[in-house]
Amino acid sequence: MNLRTLNVTELNQYIKRIIHSDPILNAIKVEGEITAFKKHSSGHAYFLIKDDNSRINCVLFSNNYDLLDFVPKDGDMVEIFGKISVYEKNGTYQLYVNQMKNAGIGNLFKKFNDLKLMLENEGLFNPLYKKTITKYPQKIAVITSRTGAAIHDVLSVIQRRNPLVDILIIPASVQGENTVKEVLDAFDYVESINGIDTVILTRGGGSYEELFNFNDEAIARRIFKCKIPVISAIGHEIDFTISDFVADLRAPTPSAAAELATEDIMNIIKLQKKHIDDMAYTIKNKIHNYEKTLNQYHYNYLKFPIVKKMAFQEHQMEIAIEKSSSLIMKQLTEIEHKHQILIEKINGLNPLNILSKGYSRLKDDASNDLIFSIDNIIEGQVIRNELKDGHIISKIIAIEVSK
**Of the residues 261, 284, 305, the one at which a domain ends:** 261
- How many domains are there within the chain? 4
- Asked if residue 205 has pLDDT above 90, the reply is no
pLDDT confidence bin for 102, thresholds 50/70/90:
confident
What phi and psi, each to the nearest 5 degrees, are found at residue 277? -65, -40
Do 233 and 141 belong together in one domain? yes
Residue 281 falls within a domain, yes or no?
A: yes
| pLDDT computed for residue 232 by the predictor | 95
Question: What is the rounded CA–CA span in Å between residue 280 and residue 298?
Answer: 29
Of residues 179 and 313, the one with the higher pLDDT is: 179
| Full DSSP string of 345-367 | HHHHH-HHHHHTTT--EEEETTT
Do 228 and 274 belong together in one domain? no
| pLDDT computed for residue 191 by the predictor | 95
Do 256 and 215 belong together in one domain? yes
Do 49 and 173 belong together in one domain? no
Convert the pLDDT of each residue in 130-162 to its tens digit.
999 998 899 999 999 988 888 999 999 999 988
Do 123 and 242 belong together in one domain? yes
- Looking at residue 214, the DSSP 8-state letter turns out to be G
Residue 2 falls within a domain, yes or no?
A: no
CATH number of the domain that residue 157 is part of: 3.40.50.261
Residues 6+ apart with CB under 8 A from 390: none
Do 336 and 377 belong together in one domain? no
Question: What is the rounded CA–CA span in Å between residue 384 and residue 368?
Answer: 8
Do 174 and 237 belong together in one domain? yes
Residue 403 falls within a domain, yes or no?
A: no
Do 65 and 118 belong together in one domain? no
Residue 1 falls within a domain, yes or no?
A: no
Which among 226, 141, 216, 228 has a CA at the least distance from the CA of 178? 216
Convert the pLDDT of each residue in 369-401 to its tens digit.
877 777 778 888 888 888 777 888 888 888 877
Do 178 and 229 belong together in one domain? yes
* Residue-number span of the structural domain to which 53 is assigned: 8-105
Do 242 and 142 belong together in one domain? yes
Determine contact, residues 83/77, Cβ cutoff 8 Å.
no
| Full DSSP string of 319-336 | HHHHHHHHHHHHHHHHHH
Of the given ranges (57-66, 210-219, 234-243, 253-262), which has the lowest mean pLDDT?
A: 234-243
CATH number of the domain that residue 44 is part of: 2.40.50.140
Do 76 and 134 belong together in one domain? no
**Of the residues 261, 295, 321, the one at which a domain ends:** 261
Do 228 and 280 belong together in one domain? no
**Of the residues 54, 76, 105, the one at which a domain ends:** 105
Collect contacts of 247-252 with beta carbons under 8 A, ≥24 apart: 247/201, 247/223, 248/130, 248/131, 248/132, 248/133, 249/130, 249/133, 251/200, 251/202
Residue 343 falls within a domain, yes or no?
A: yes
Question: What is the 3 state secondary structure string of 18-66?
Answer: HHHCCCCCCCEEEEEEEEEEEECCCCCEEEEEECCCCEEEEEECHHHHC
